[in-house]
Amino acid sequence: MIRMRRKKLWASCFCFAAAFFFVVTLQVITELGNSENKVAVISSLHSGPLKPVEIHAFQFKKQEFPSSFKTESDVNQYPILLWWSPLTGETGRLGQCGEDVCFFTINKTYQHNQMTRAFLFYGTDFSIDSLPLPRRDYHDWALFHEESPKNNYKLFHEPTITLFNHTATFSRHSHLPLTTQYLEGVEVLKSLRYMIPLQMKNNLRKRLAPLVYVQSDCNPPSDRDSYVRELMCHIEVDSYGECLHNRDLPQHLRNPTAMDDGNFYKILAQYKFILAFENAICEDYITEKLWRPLKLGVVPVYFGSPSIVDWLPSNKSAILVSSFSHPRELARYIKMLDTNDQEYESYLRWKLKGDISNPRLLTVMKERKWGVQDITQENYIDTFECMVCNRVWENIRRKEKVHVTLSLCLREALKWHWAQIGPRKFGYQISGQPTTTGIAMPLQHASSRQKVLAEGVGTWPEHVSLVLQQCLSSYTLTTELVVISAEGGLTCSGRRFLSGYRE
Ligand SMILES: *[C@@H]1O[C@H](CO)[C@@H](O)[C@H](O)[C@H]1NC(C)=O
Ligand SMILES: *[C@@H]1O[C@H](CO)[C@@H](O)[C@H](O)[C@H]1NC(C)=O
Ligand SMILES: *[C@@H]1O[C@H](CO)[C@@H](O)[C@H](O)[C@H]1NC(C)=O
Instruction: Spell out where 155-248 has E strands.
Output: 166-168, 211-213, 237-239
Distance 303 CA to ligand 2 centre (A): 35
Among protein residues, the one whose CA lies closest to atom 3 of ligand 1? 109
Would you state the pLDDT for residue 214?
A: 96
Q: Whose CA is closest to atom 4 on ligand 1?
A: 109
Q: How far is the CA of 460 from the centre of ligand 1 (A)?
A: 53
For a pocket test of ligand 3, which of 315, 350, 355 has the largest count of ligand atoms closer than 8 A to its C-beta?
315
What is the CA(165)–ligand 2 centre distance, in A?
Answer: 6
Q: Which ligand is nearest to the CA of 359?
A: 3
Which ligand 2 atom is the nearest neighbour of the CA of 484? Answer: 14
- pLDDT at position 408, please? 66
Question: Is 481 in contact with 447 (CB distance < 8 Å)?
Answer: yes
Crossing angle between the packed helical segments 7-45 and 51-60, to the nearest 10 degrees: 110
Return the sign of the alpha-carbon dihedral for residues 124, 127, 133, 136: positive
Handedness of CA 303, 308, 312, 314 (dihedral sign): positive
Torsion of CA 92, 95, 101, 104, to 10 degrees: -30
- Nearest-CA neighbor of 296 among 274, 320, 312? 274
Between the CA of 108 and the centroid of ligand 1 the distance, in Å, is 8
What pLDDT is recorded for position 442? 37
Q: What are phi and psi of 205, to 5 degrees?
A: -60, -20
Q: Cα–Cα distance between 403 and 150 in angstroms, integer?
A: 44
Nearest CA owner, ligand 2 atom 10? 165
CA distances to 43, 77, 101, 317 from 300, in Å: 59, 52, 44, 8
Torsion of CA 127, 131, 135, 138, to 10 degrees: -80
CB 332 within 8 A of CB 233: no
Three-state DSSP at 284 gives coil
CA angle, residues 493, 123, 213, in degrees to nearest 5: 50
Ligand (nearest to CA of 402): 2
Residue 405, ligand 3, Cβ within 6 A? no
**Rounded Cα gap, residues 265 and 73, in angstroms:** 54
**Closest CA to ligand 3's atom 10:** 315
**Position in ligand 1 atom list of the atom nearest CA 107:** 1
pLDDT of residue 19: 45
DSSP 200: H
Which atom of ligand 3 is nearest the CA belonging to 309? 13
Q: Please give the DSSP secondary-structure letter assigned to residue 310.
A: G
Question: Which one of the ligands is nearest to 314 CA?
Answer: 3
Å from CA of 387 to ligand 2 middle: 17
What is the CA(385)–ligand 3 centre distance, in A? 35
Angle ∠(352,358,363) on CA atoms, nearest 5: 120
Name the helix (H) or strand (E) containing 140.
Answer: strand 140-144
Around ligand 1, the residues with Cβ closer than 6 Å are 91, 107, 109
Task: For residue 370, report the distance from its CA to the centre of ligand 2, in Å.
Answer: 27
Residue nearest to ligand 2 atom 8, measured at CA: 137
For residue 92, the ligand closest to its alpha carbon is 1
pLDDT tens for the chain, 503 residues: list them.
444 444 444 444 444 444 444 433 334 333 333 333 333 222 322 323 333 333 333 332 333 444 444 455 666 789 999 999 999 999 999 999 999 999 999 999 999 999 999 999 999 999 989 999 999 989 999 999 998 878 888 887 888 888 999 999 999 989 999 999 999 999 999 999 999 999 999 999 999 999 999 999 998 888 899 999 999 999 999 999 999 999 999 999 988 888 889 999 999 999 999 999 999 888 999 999 999 999 999 999 999 999 999 999 999 999 999 999 999 999 999 999 999 999 999 999 999 999 999 999 999 999 999 999 888 999 999 999 999 999 999 888 877 776 666 666 666 555 544 333 333 333 333 444 443 333 333 344 444 444 444 444 433 445 455 555 655 554 433 222 222 222 333 344 332 222 222 22
What's the CA-to-centroid distance between 315 and ligand 3, angstroms?
6
Which one, of 291, 420, 424, 416, lies nearest residue 361 by Cα? 291
**Residue 298: strand, helix, or coil:** coil
What is residue 201's predicted lDDT score, i.e. its pLDDT?
Answer: 98
Residues in the chain: 503
Q: Is the CB of 358 under 6 A from ligand 3?
A: yes
- Residue 222: per-residue pLDDT: 87
| H or E, element range at 466 | helix 462-474
Task: Give the ligand with the smallest distance to the CA of 106.
Answer: 1
Question: Among the atoms of ligand 3, which is closest to the Cα of residue 357?
Answer: 14
* Ligand 3 atom 5, closest CA: 315
Tell me the backbone φ, ψ of residue 120, rounded to 5 degrees.
-105, 130
Spell out the alpha helix ranges (H) of 308-447.
327-339, 341-345, 349-352, 359-367, 380-418
The HSE-up count of residue 190 (CA atoms within 13 Å, CB side) is: 9
Across 272-282, b (16+ Cβ under 10 Å) vs e yields bbbbbbbbbbb
* Ligand 2: residue whose CA is nearest its atom 3: 163
Residue nearest to atom 2 of ligand 2 (CA): 165
Nearest to 178 by CA among 451, 334, 26, 370: 370
Task: Give the number of the ligand closest to the Cα of residue 110.
Answer: 1
